[in-house]
């Protein structure tokens, strides 16, 4: 799943017999339960995967035998139960790396070494959803249509598709086919999307249904994100370049996915709320890119120097937020809210013009990175001025019409 396991080579030392090496015993491991064949912890690797997958399938089969498949409510209950039962597998996968970094030891080392197999066991649990989904599609289509009446469900479908791709590329041949860089980006993005979906869902449920299951799962995912945040904070001195753009992309995309899931875009009022969040986020990221250089000149120092070095990353995050705004605005105009739209924070024409300039700048930036040119730096002041003018006019006129 998210990352291939570390291959821990057992440390070996000769067993001494008096003053020499014991013959016939060969090389034996030092006092480590993972090293000596006779004492090695067997529950790891594919054995661990088999145990976890069979345990889940046994529970799934028990629930399926007791279920009334003629009742769509029971089928929907099984879908929710599957995600709850799979949550511990995902939590172990998601927290393996930060736990090892924050609390290094034998248990966390074992957890990190078996992260791939924990992730694959979670994938087996997640794919058990296909049976109840197929049942709803074949026997209770109105119920399935009702589930997808919430537009956020389409986002969850995309995340499920990402999980499929992560699972397939967890094996050697497909992983080599897509390359190491794409593999890392796919698995990093996928695990954060899944963690965000789980966290938003169970925190939301815990706020409105204070049953023990939802409260415990919601708190567990908040703690998991806190562990990740603690690792990021410890590595804050390295917080720049690709790390920073990944953080900004995660913040931007996570905020918009959470807004979409929480508010939805099924009515004009809800759509207006999500668009307002997207426009606010886009303007904030653009200000970070626009104001970085002037701040460095006015107040030179380590903070402003670092900010100026990251201004292109703010511009990329602005592109993400503006893309979300356009996607939701166009979806509302065409399909989601065919009734008269609310007044948009940014008129659609202004947003499209800003997106066109932004896309052109991103293409220049990509060409510069490949060819070692500086076209983006020369065009940046002109693009900043054009985008600042468009956003200023758009925010003034935005509440006029959709």
pLDDT tens-place string over residues 332-347: 766 655 555 567 788 8
Whether residue 97 has pLDDT greater than 70 = yes
DSSP conformational letter for 22: P
Which residues does residue 16 pair with via DSSP β-bridges, in sequence order? 21
**Which domain-ending residue is among 183, 202, 234?**
234
Residue 237 binned pLDDT confidence (cut-offs 50, 70, 90): low
Contact between residue 308 and residue 296 where contact means Cβ atoms under 8 Å apart: yes
Which two three-digit tokens encode residue 150? Answer: 């919430």
Q: Which residue has the higher pLDDT, 85 or 263?
A: 85
**pLDDT recorded at residue 28:** 31
Residue 158 binned pLDDT confidence (cut-offs 50, 70, 90): confident
Residues 291 and 206 placed together within one structural domain of the fold: no
Q: How far apart are CA 360 and CA 377, in angstroms?
A: 13
State mean pLDDT over 20-39. Answer: 36
State mean pLDDT over 229-237. Answer: 75
SS3 state of residue 112: helix
* pLDDT, tens digit, 9 for 90 and up, residues 55-69: 999 999 999 998 888
Query: Any idea which of 106-120, 158-172, 277-291, 335-349 has the lowest mean pLDDT?
Result: 335-349
Contact between residue 204 and residue 183 where contact means Cβ atoms under 8 Å apart: no
Residues 225 and 255 placed together within one structural domain of the fold: no
Whether residue 23 has pLDDT greater than 80 = no
* pLDDT, tens digit, 9 for 90 and up, residues 381-392: 898 999 999 898
Residues 245 and 380 placed together within one structural domain of the fold: yes
Number of domains in the chain: 2
**pLDDT recorded at residue 172:** 85
Residue 109 binned pLDDT confidence (cut-offs 50, 70, 90): very high
Residues 338 and 253 placed together within one structural domain of the fold: yes
Contact between residue 214 and residue 229 where contact means Cβ atoms under 8 Å apart: no
**pLDDT recorded at residue 29:** 33
Residues 222 and 254 placed together within one structural domain of the fold: no
Residues 300 and 376 placed together within one structural domain of the fold: yes
Q: How far apart are CA 150 and CA 265, in angstroms?
A: 8
Range of the domain at 136: 44-234
Q: 215: burial class by Cβ within 10 Å (0-12, 13-18, 19+)?
A: middle
**CA distance between the termini of the chain:** 43
Residues 140 and 278 placed together within one structural domain of the fold: no
Return the axis-axis angle of helices 268-298 and 302-309, rounded to nearest 10°.
120
Cβ neighbors of 113 (< 8 A, separation 6 or more) are 5, 6, 7, 8, 44
Q: How far apart are CA 295 and CA 113, in angstroms?
A: 45
Query: Any idea which of 96-105, 161-170, 238-247 has the lowest mean pLDDT?
Result: 238-247
The mean predicted confidence, pLDDT, of the chain is 80
Q: How far apart are CA 93 and CA 342, in angstroms?
A: 42
Distances (CA, A) of 166 to 46, 135, 360: 18, 25, 31
State mean pLDDT over 133-142. Answer: 89
Residue 4 in domain: no
**pLDDT recorded at residue 41:** 53
How many residues are present in the chain?
402
Question: What backbone phi and psi angles, to 5 degrees, belong to 17?
Answer: -125, 95
Residues 298 and 379 placed together within one structural domain of the fold: yes
Residue 89 in domain: yes
Cβ neighbors of 81 (< 8 A, separation 6 or more) are 63
Contact between residue 384 and residue 289 where contact means Cβ atoms under 8 Å apart: yes
**pLDDT recorded at residue 122:** 94
Residue 385 in domain: yes
Query: Any idea which of 109-118, 170-179, 187-196, 264-273 has the lowest mean pLDDT?
Result: 264-273
Residues 245 and 228 placed together within one structural domain of the fold: no
For the chain, what percent of residues have pLDDT higher than 70? 84
Residue 1 in domain: no
Residues 282 and 224 placed together within one structural domain of the fold: no
Residue 147 in domain: yes
Q: How far apart are CA 247 and CA 159, in angstroms?
A: 19
**pLDDT recorded at residue 250:** 80
For the chain, what percent of residues have pLDDT higher than 90? 28
Residue 18 in domain: no
Q: How far apart are CA 327 and CA 321, in angstroms?
A: 10
Question: What backbone phi and psi angles, to 5 degrees, belong to 378?
Answer: -70, -35
State mean pLDDT over 10-14. Answer: 39
**Which domain-ending residue is among 234, 261, 295?**
234
Residues 224 and 263 placed together within one structural domain of the fold: no
Which two three-digit tokens encode residue 75? Answer: 């089928």
Whether residue 350 has pLDDT greater than 70 = yes
Residues 204 and 301 placed together within one structural domain of the fold: no
Residue 70 in domain: yes
State mean pLDDT over 129-146. Answer: 88
Q: Give this prediction's pTM.
A: 0.66
**pLDDT recorded at residue 22:** 37
* pLDDT, tens digit, 9 for 90 and up, residues 162-191: 889 999 998 888 888 888 888 888 898 889
Report which of 148, 226, 229 is spatially closest to residue 218, judged by C-alpha positions: 226
Residue 286 in domain: yes
**pLDDT recorded at residue 30:** 30
**Which domain-ending residue is among 234, 254, 276?**
234
């Amino acid at each position: 799943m998210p990352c291939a396991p570390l291959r821990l080579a057992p440390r070996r030392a000769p067993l001494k017999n008096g003053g020499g090496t014991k013959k016939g015993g060969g090389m034996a491991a030092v006092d480590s339960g993972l090293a000596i064949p006779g004492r090695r912890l067997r529950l790891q690797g594919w054995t661990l995967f088999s145990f976890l997958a069979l345990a889940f399938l046994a529970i799934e089969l028990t629930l399926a035998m007791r279920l009334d498949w003629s009742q769509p409510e029971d089928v929907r209950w099984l879908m929710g139960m599957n995600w709850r039962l799979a949550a511990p597998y995902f939590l172990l996968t998601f927290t393996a790396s930060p736990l090892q970094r924050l609390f290094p030891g034998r248990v966390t080392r074992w957890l990190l070494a078996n992260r791939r197999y924990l992730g694959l066991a979670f994938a087996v649990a997640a794919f058990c959803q296909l049976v109840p989904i197929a049942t709803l599609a074949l026997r209770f289509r109105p119920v399935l249509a009702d589930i997808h009446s919430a537009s956020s469900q389409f986002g969850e479908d995309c995340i499920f598709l990402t999980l499929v791709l992560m699972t397939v590329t967890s094996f050697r041949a497909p992983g080599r086919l897509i390359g190491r860089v794409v593999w890392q980006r796919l698995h990093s993005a996928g695990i954060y999307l899944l963690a965000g979906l789980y966290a938003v869902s169970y925190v939301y449920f815990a706020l409105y249904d204070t049953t023990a299951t939802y409260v415990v799962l919601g708190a567990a995912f908040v703690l998991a994100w806190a562990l990740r945040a603690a690792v990021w904070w410890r590595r804050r001195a390295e917080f720049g370049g690709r790390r920073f753009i990944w953080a900004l992309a995660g913040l931007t995309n996570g905020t918009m996915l959470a807004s979409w899931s929480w508010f939805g875009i099924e009515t004009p009022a809800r759509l207006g709320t999500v668009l307002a969040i997207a426009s606010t986020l886009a303007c904030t990221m653009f200000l970070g890119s626009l104001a970085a250089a002037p701040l460095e000149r006015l107040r030179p120092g380590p903070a402003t120097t670092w900010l100026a070095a990251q201004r292109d990353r703010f511009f990329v995050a602005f592109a993400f937020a503006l893309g979300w705004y356009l996607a939701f605005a166009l979806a509302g105009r065409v399909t989601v809210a065919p009734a008269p739209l609310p007044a948009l924070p940014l008129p659609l024409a202004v947003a499209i013009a800003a997106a066109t300039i932004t896309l052109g700048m991103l293409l220049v930036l990509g060409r510069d990175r490949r060819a070692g040119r500086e076209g983006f730096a020369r065009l940046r002041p002109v693009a900043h001025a054009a985008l600042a003018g468009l956003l200023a006019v758009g925010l003034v006129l935005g509440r006029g019409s959709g």
